[in-house]
Amino acid sequence: MSSATDPASSLDATRASPRTRRVAVIGGGPAGLMAAEAMAERGVQVDLYDAMPSVGRKFLLAGRGGLNLTHAEALPAFTARYGAQAPRVAAWLEALPPDALREWAHDLGIETFVGTSGRVFPREMKAAPLLRAWLARLRAQGVRLHMRHRWLPWPQGEAASPARLRFATPEGEVEHGADAVVLALGGGSWARLGSDGAWVEPLAAHDVPVRALRPANCGFLASWSEWFRERHAGDPVKAVSMICGQEAARQSRRGEFVISADGIEGSLVYALSAPIRDEIEARGTATIWLDLMPDWSLERVETEVAHPRGSRSMSSHLQSRLKLTGVRAGLLRELASRDDYADPLRLAARIKALPLVLTAPRPIDEAISTAGGVELGALDGASMLPRWPGVFCAGEMLDWEAPTGGYLLTACMASGRVAGRGVLDYLATLG
């Protein structure tokens, strides 16, 4: 496959030897592509299959407004973003920490920079140049891409083996074999881009421990009045704080979000979507608390609200004394009671802690990502399913989640590298 004159031969000395091992990667997202690279650069013949006409479709769409590649915060804080699964994800990040991911992009000719929030972006902001450079390198390494190949899971009762992989293609069903396979099938959001979660039931039927997929980094439903919906749907709510969770595990974030026709969405909501979702699942609804004046103390708000207002309406008074206008004033009118408005101290307390009841997350297909998937405890440290030798898993199909901000993409790619290296170790045991 390689020769002394092949430009790809300089990547690794093993590329001058025959490719005696073949590995299939199923799924052309960041995790699958990184797994393919980890193996191909060591001389393994990699065939990558994807159901869509091209790879990286969700990656490209996510980067349309600016590809958030990773985050520049210190690694301990970075790792803590993964919640209960932080110890396992920390092991992935040892294979590809955030700084190494930036170096990897630079090796592709993609310069990066750190934004004011600490998020890391390509200099051009777009995902397409990075993906083009990445695919060029993969092809130079000998990776073969098979598009419009939808994987057909092993039938119930049939042993799961990489030696028999079936695919539905426009020309009919085809079968391929490999020495190992990496499943990087994605989660269950944005089905039109390929992540439809169709693998969940077939794997569960083979007794693979799979937790139900749930929306993550998602919006939520709320019951707005017609008055509020007509005036404020689509409005951004800026410079507020949001608090959620029960007393013992309360979380607070500052930022902005957007009013939708039937709820809330946006970056501040996504940052707290996991605890909000979990509270809804446990209690039926979740109450979040909005601080409409996060830079002001309660005492200062009380003083201004209690200031004599003469003949002015309360809305005019709040606009004059607190600069509380627009959608923030609309939220106060929507969510505070008549009794609150009748008592300056109660109204001040509401301005600092305004309750909003959320009834359900948006549908899973609208979520940025999903939680749930193959339980991490079902995998060994190399990301292989021990009961299925030669079958590895990577990416969003695994049971972990993270907020937006570069954490999702970094962990997906790191998990792909871990799986790819795990395959290399497994192949070495085959002799």
pLDDT attached to residue 293: 96
Q: What average pLDDT does range 263-268 have in this prediction?
A: 95
pLDDT attached to residue 190: 87
Is pLDDT of 159 > 90?
no
Contact 369/383 with Cβ under 8 angstroms? no
Structure tokens at 375: 């339980």
CB atoms within 10 A of CB 414: 28
Q: Does residue 411 or residue 250 have the better pLDDT?
A: 411
Q: What average pLDDT does range 252-281 have in this prediction?
A: 95
Mean pLDDT, the chain, as a whole number? 92
pLDDT attached to residue 419: 98
pLDDT attached to residue 66: 86
pLDDT attached to residue 309: 86
pLDDT attached to residue 39: 98
Q: What average pLDDT does range 369-384 have in this prediction?
A: 96
Is pLDDT of 42 > 80?
yes
Q: How confident is the model at residue 353 (pLDDT cuts 50, 70, 90)?
A: very high
CB atoms within 10 A of CB 396: 32
- In three-state form (DSSP H/G/I as H, E/B as E, the rest C), the secondary structure along 247-261 is HHHCEEEEEEEEEEC
Lowest mean pLDDT among 6-20, 73-87, 326-340: 6-20
d(CA 98, CA 76): 11
pLDDT attached to residue 15: 34
pLDDT attached to residue 9: 30
What percent of the chain shows pLDDT beyond 70?
95
d(CA 416, CA 48): 13
Strand (E) or helix (H) holding 428: helix 407-429
pLDDT attached to residue 310: 87
Q: The domain 22-215+365-429 is classified under which CATH number: 3.40.250.10, 3.40.50.10860, 3.50.50.60, 3.40.50.2300?
A: 3.50.50.60
SS3 call for 279 = helix
Show me where the domains of the chain are located. 22-215+365-429, 220-361
Q: How confident is the model at residue 248 (pLDDT cuts 50, 70, 90)?
A: low
Contact 406/369 with Cβ under 8 angstroms? no
Lowest mean pLDDT among 81-90, 98-107, 308-317, 354-363: 308-317
pLDDT attached to residue 19: 52
Q: Which residues pair with 286 in a beta bridge?
A: 358
**C-alpha distances in Å from residue 167, one per residue of 26, 49, 51, 396:** 10, 9, 9, 21
d(CA 19, CA 108): 25
Q: How confident is the model at residue 8 (pLDDT cuts 50, 70, 90)?
A: very low
CB atoms within 10 A of CB 123: 11
Q: What average pLDDT does range 18-47 have in this prediction?
A: 93
pLDDT attached to residue 14: 35
User: For 218-238, how does the pLDDT look when each residue is reduced to its tens digit (9 = 90+)?
Assistant: 999 999 999 999 999 999 999
Is pLDDT of 113 > 80?
yes
The three-point CA angle 360-192-63 to 5° equals 85
Spell out a b/e string for 222-239, using b for 16 or more CB atoms within 10 Å of the CB, else e: bebeeebbebbeeeebee
Give the pairing of strands 144-146 and 150-152. unpaired
d(CA 33, CA 27): 8
User: For 52-89, how does the pLDDT look when each residue is reduced to its tens digit (9 = 90+)?
Assistant: 999 999 999 887 778 999 999 999 999 999 999 999 99
d(CA 52, CA 55): 7
